[in-house]
Structure 1
């Protein structure tokens, strides 16, 4: 026995989700949460973090690395959201109508640029700005 859910997305494409969890009220909500997790792992695997390149095998080390990478992902994503709201860029659209550069990629670029200023120029102001993105009220980006 399966239960099937279907809806149209914003581009009028059909999204279909089938589940064997018959008591599930709304499989679409569960699928949306799962998709966010899939996006996280895609970024951790190949869009900046290259997690698999570490070749770690000890479970405790892998666990710590995934935790640190998840925090870094959230940091980059948060910076990307802020940067896009502060100074929206005209991002090219791919054939699927999604922006070519994700908010994560945008934020990661800002973090990399900022960390270069911190490490190579010992810029403490930029460091404070970057760290502020880990708080509810980030400071305005003063470079780039």
Structure 2
């Protein structure tokens, strides 16, 4: 391709559209799996930048502070994602589908909304029970959500 040797991988997704990955690593045997892992990271950074955390709005430049903020955001992402998974398992109607069949909100967004509402209930109304349930999602055995 344009004078460079590349390897092409293609497959159809669940919508019967093509997913095409091109790599200049000719030894790569499963570029799709590698791309899948990379896509998860891209999704994480997308959430960091504009889908909830707005990390760039902090304008931090000191490396140690940026590092700590990214670590906190990663924890909050995992926390939100885990809450979102449980919320959809317990309350399937929580994840509304658009006309094309894809969810209106991601599991992360659902969990983040619940986490924000729960933290507000704790800090502004003193609802300790909600906070305890949310904190349990940082452990191996979380308590059932009560939405």
TM-score by shorter chain over 0.5:
yes
Q: Does 1:9 align with 2:13?
A: yes
- Residue ranges of structure 1 left out of the alignment (5+ in a row): none
1:25 to 13, 26, 29: 29
Question: Structure 2 matches for 1:33-112, cutoff 5 A?
Answer: 33-89=37-93, 90-93=95-98, 97-112=101-116
Match of 1:132 in 2: 136
Query: 2:92 is paired with a residue of what secondary structure?
Result: coil
Give the distance between the partners of 1:29 and 1:93, measured in 2 at CA.
28
The structural deviation recorded for 1:79 is: 0.3
Q: How many residues align?
A: 142
Describe the superposition over 1:16-41 as per-residue Cα deviations: whole angstroms up to 9, x where unpaired. 00111122110000000100111111
What is the deviation of 1:94? 6.1
Q: Is this contact kept in 2: 1:19–1:27, CA < 8 A?
A: yes
Q: State how far apart, in whole Å, the 2-side matches of 1:80 and 1:7 are.
A: 29
1:33-79 per-position Cα deviation (integer Å, ceiling 9, x unaligned): 10011111111111110000000011111111111101101110110
Q: What's the TM-score, normalizing by structure 2?
A: 0.91
Deviations along 1:96-135, whole A, 9 cap, x unmatched?
A: x421211111000110111111111222211110111011
TM-score normalised by length of structure 1: 0.93
Q: Are the counterparts in 1 of residues 86 and 145 from structure 2 also a CA contact under 8 Å?
A: no
Q: 1:94 to 1:60 in 2, by over 3 A?
A: farther
